[in-house]
Amino acid sequence: MSEKSIESFNIRDYLREDMFPHFLCPGCGHGIAMRALLWAIHELEISNDNLAIVSGIGCSGRIGAYVDANTFHVTHGRPLAFATGLALSRPDLKVVVITGDGDCLAIGGNHLIHACRRNLNMTCMMLNNEVYGMTGGQASPTTSATRYTTTSPTGSIEPVFNACDLAAAAGASFVGREVTLQTPALKNLLHQAIDHDGFSFVEVISDCTEIFGRKNDLGDSPEMILSQKGSMRPDSYGNVVDEPFRPNHMKTGVFVETDRAEYGAVYRDHAKAVQARAGA
């Protein structure tokens, strides 16, 4: 596939301008993730007609509404289930799921593990802001220990999911993580994920300034986004990390890239074989 240059990328070509102004809070990282996604789509020369975006409920899920493509805003936790039917029946489409840490790992956690297990051709971009942003800031499966949320007013004491480890263990054939601070790296990761044949899972470390950052004294958007630099492992960025370094055991980059039978192809071959048997 040929790749287009950044100079030719005009994000407006990919947006529904009549949906603006958008509803995201100032400083929300989700918009950066949307830009990186559309930049990757541009590089891959995927036309609006061939792109299907399926999203669940949440600030993350709302992103889909701004993209000028085939978009489906479905029930909370269910975008992977909906996308499974879509990708199976329309293998000609590039299916991208946009979901949040709550949507994907809490109510939708079961769908995630089975999507990873099946390995159907689609990309799942999970925006991890450590919180249920849209509903006012409840704790999610990725809320770090000691963080204050509306459901952990004295500090969260729950262990967290490592979403990438979970996806890898469940069988996803492509798994990666990136932070919004490193937008070109995020674009490259999404490019690889969308190009991958099979189920690809990308965790984006985003930030929720208003609902989460404010409660936890994490500063404004620049402080929150810059802190991503210090919280990743130094080896993710060639050992160059600003001090003070706060290790949180998270790495960025591609963790899994394997060649495994794609479920849609297996399904179509199986259907043909069954039909041939029935006809014989």
Ligand X SMILES: Cc1ncc(C[n+]2csc(CCOP(=O)(O)OP(=O)(O)O)c2C)c(N)n1
How far apart (Å, rounded) are the C-alpha atoms in residues 134 and 255? 30
What one-character-per-residue DSSP string does 28-93 give? -THHHHHHHHHHHHHHTT--GGGEEEEE-SSHHHHGGGGBSSEEEE-STT-HHHHHHHHHHH-TTS
**Closest to Mg ion by CB, 214 or 260:** 214
Nearest to 40 by CA among 87, 73, 4: 4
Query: Nearest distance from residue 8's CB to Mg ion, in Å?
Result: 33
Footprint on residues 103-132 left by ligand X (CB under 6 A): 103, 127, 129, 131-132
Considering only CA atoms, give the Rg of the chain: 19
Q: Which does 103 bind (CB under 5 to 8 A by kind): ligand X, Mg ion, none?
A: ligand X
Asked whether the beta carbons of 143 and 152 are under 8 A apart, the reply is yes
SS3 250: strand
Q: Which does 76 bind (CB under 5 to 8 A by kind): Mg ion, ligand X, none?
A: ligand X
How far apart (Å, rounded) are the C-alpha atoms in residues 173 and 191? 15
64 near ligand X (CB under 6 A): no
**Closest to Mg ion by CB, 93 or 208:** 208
Query: Nearest distance from residue 12's CB to ligand X, in Å?
Result: 24
Footprint on residues 129-148 left by ligand X (CB under 6 A): 129, 131-135, 140
**Closest to Mg ion by CB, 53 or 93:** 53
Q: Which residue has the tokens 């790495």?
A: 251
Q: Per-residue x/- mask for ligand X, residues 68 to 87, rule CB under 6 A?
A: --------x-----------
Q: Per-residue x/- mask for Mg ion, residues 112 to 141, rule CB under 5 A?
A: -----------------x---x--------
**Closest to ligand X by CB, 101 or 262:** 101
How far apart (Å, rounded) are the C-alpha atoms in residues 141 and 109? 10
Nearest to 41 by CA among 71, 19, 79: 71
102 near ligand X (CB under 6 A): yes
**Closest to Mg ion by CB, 100 or 176:** 100
Q: Which does 207 bind (CB under 5 to 8 A by kind): ligand X, Mg ion, none?
A: none
Asked whether the beta carbons of 123 and 200 are under 8 A apart, the reply is yes
Q: Which does 135 bind (CB under 5 to 8 A by kind): ligand X, Mg ion, none?
A: ligand X
Residues 6+ apart with CB under 8 A from 207: 27, 28, 29, 129, 180, 213, 221, 224, 225, 228
95 near ligand X (CB under 6 A): no
Query: Nearest distance from residue 128's CB to ligand X, in Å?
Result: 8
Strands across the sheet with 94-100, in order? 70-73, 51-55, 94-100, 122-128, 199-205, 174-179, 253-257
Contact residue for ligand X among 54, 59, 125, 194 (CB under 6 A): 59
Nearest to 74 by CA among 41, 33, 104: 104
Contact residue for Mg ion among 100, 141, 198, 213 (CB under 5 A): 100
Which positions touch Mg ion (CB under 5 A)?
A: 100-101, 129, 133
